[in-house]
Copies of this chain bind each other. A is one copy, B any other.
Amino acid sequence: MRKCLSSKSIRTGEFAEVDIDRFRRRGFPEVIYCPGKTKEQIRKIAAVLLKEKQPLLLTRLDKKVFSYLKKFYSGLRYNPRGRVAYYNPQTRSSSSRGKICLVCAGTSDLPVAEEAAATLEAMGERMVKFYDVGVAGVHRVLGKVNLLRQCSVVIVIAGMEGALASIVSGLVSCPVVAVPTSVGYGANFSGLAPLLTILNSCSPGIAVVNIDNGFGAAYFASLINRG
């Protein structure tokens, strides 16, 4: 319990208490989830982390707010499709670890896939991408089976009915992390359909994160990969 006790946090204004101990405790610092925060609040939280020389990762960041932040932190990089900004000078992709594979069912799922990709990059992971290989033409993913089997974790991103995760899981021996997306219409119910699909998969070896949560899947996959 001693470690718990020595945990530190820094208050900035009334609105935030930044958990600067998280980097030491968890291997990656607090990540800034941007919706509902003003650009000033985001900037001030970022300032605390940077002052502590910790990497920076901001998710669901509007392009406009990025431009505002860019003026203060010129090193900040931005993935516009994934709406993720990050700054991590020390990290370089570790070639000793395995690669993480990003498998994406359809072109419309790209924003979620790219949120994952940018997160993996910020966390220093190497990755392989197979986009638009949904089950309507199952030969597309079957044709990648040898490449899939060389990865240490597979992230499957799928909207509509989300069946791709079950297929992939049945072909590989590594863990599959699945992200249901809200892509679809009608009885998709904002991603509920693929979420239920994945939770109920008849193929064991899959775990799921929240709908559209590309960041969460990448973070979790990186924890696995750091082993």
Contact = CB atoms under 8 A, between A and B. Distances in A.
Interface of A: 1-5, 7-9, 14-19, 21-22, 25-27, 30-31, 33, 35-37, 41, 45, 60, 105-111, 129-140, 142-143, 145-146, 149, 152, 160-163, 166-167, 169-175, 177, 182-189, 191-213, 215-217, 219-220, 223-224, 226-227
B167 A186 contact: no
Given A14-B131, A133-B17, A108 B205 contact: no
B140 A17 contact: yes
A15 B108 CA distance: 9
A103 B36 CA distance: 18
A36 B183 contact: yes
Given A7-B139, A208-B209, A200 B21 contact: no
A131 B5 contact: no
Nearest to A201: B161
29 contacts: A1-B143, A4-B138, A7-B137, A9-B143, A14-B131, A15-B131, A15-B132, A16-B107, A16-B131, A16-B132, A19-B139, A22-B137, A36-B111, A138-B138, A138-B167, A138-B171, A160-B202, A163-B197, A163-B202, A174-B223, A185-B211, A186-B200, A187-B200, A188-B200, A196-B196, A204-B216, A207-B207, A207-B209, A207-B216
